[in-house]
Chain A
């Protein structure tokens, strides 16, 4: 005669029964108060609940803890809107802005400002000379053509007035590419301190490694106000720069 075998329990259920059966007061103290936590192990929670049912001491402890939990919840609710004052945000924003501004590269800015200043001096000088010649007053003095630029030559009639005239030693000038030597002999010499790199604008070759160096340059400016030739001062090492 065949006998029906009793259905076997799933292993997880058997383990759960074992845990429920095995939890004692010491284990309850350690893990039993997690009973109400959302992330509590369901098996442990079941074991703790079971133990609390049969143990008066642990049951009282659980009850006390639930009261404390209730108070903790009140505390949490009463402070849930707490946040750092607005001044903290303001200070942090200020710090962020300060750092952002500090990150702007300064090197190129300095070089550009010097180049701009030199160009402005050059343009102002050329403009002034042009105006001066158009006015047809060769005897008007020119004390300073810029911050560092200055050149003068006395008129042939011996007046004290200075006049911007080409140096007789015009042979030492290097003709600028694209410009024709003036036949009028009425050129002016303009001394300018500028960055070597700016010579490139006049079509002259410049060593890129030395482009940021400052050099003293004489420009031979024609009657039309356009520079025709250039001469670097000896201390500016013309030879190396121009090659």
Chain B
């Protein structure tokens, strides 16, 4: 079933085939959830976004037209609309702990690090996560799609429904802001330690 075309799976899912629907869900939900989580900074909002995206697929399947693009891009588009609506009405939420968004334990790659190194690594990850969340939504989206989700410019443009040039330009601005923010954060302790000497 995994090899089946998304359009065929969707047709079956619309007719009520639960297995076909779950195959589509499992294929796309994780990326959509991560995208929503990185854009909103809220696990609750990301969960809502994923749910709403698939509810659209169940309730209004005709909104997806295969000739206009891939199902994945369509789902990203729906998720994007929901995320933007959420960002418009809700102030940004920042998680202060180092748990994963769903409450599970922090995933630690299995490499031999000392506790000191692990702590440092966590701190860096938190810094970059906060810096990404502080970017304006459009630039953040470009960074999330192109740098974190590792989409090509073409894929990101398709997901955002804009030309490739726009994505490149947003990514350029996003990178510049991210660099400035992180350099500022990392230079502060250096400056403090230099001042102490």
Q: List the interface of chain A (C-beta within 8 A of B).
A: 29-31, 33, 38-39, 61, 64-65, 67-69, 71-72, 74-85, 87-89, 91-93, 95-97, 99-100, 103
CB pair A64–B129 under 8 Å, yes or no, is no
Q: Is B147 an interface residue (CB 8 A)?
A: yes
- Please name 10 further chain A to chain B contacts, defined as beta carbons within 8 Å, in addition to the given A84-B46, A85-B102, sorted by A numbering: A67-B182, A72-B132, A72-B143, A75-B132, A76-B148, A79-B38, A79-B107, A87-B47, A93-B18, A97-B18
Q: Which residues of B contact A85 (CB under 8 A)?
A: 47, 102
Contact residues of B between 26 and 68, Cβ < 8 Å to A:
29-30, 32-34, 37-38, 46-47, 50-51, 54-55, 58-59
CB pair A82–B125 under 8 Å, yes or no, is no
- Given A84-B29, A95-B55, does the pair A77, B109 have CB atoms closer than 8 Å? yes
A92 to B24, CA, bound (A): 12
Q: B33 CB to closest chain A CB, in angstroms? A: 4
CB pair B100–A82 under 8 Å, yes or no, is yes
Q: List the interface of chain B (C-beta within 8 A of A).
A: 13, 16, 18, 21-22, 25, 29-30, 32-34, 37-38, 46-47, 50-51, 54-55, 58-59, 100-102, 106-109, 121, 124-125, 127-129, 132, 143, 147-148, 150, 152-154, 168, 172, 175-176, 178-179, 182-183
A-B contacts counted at CB < 8 A amount to 118
Q: Which residues of A contact B18 (CB under 8 A)?
A: 93, 96-97
Chain A facing B: main interface SS: helix
- Given A68-B178, A82-B34, A93-B18, does the pair A88, B128 have CB atoms closer than 8 Å? no
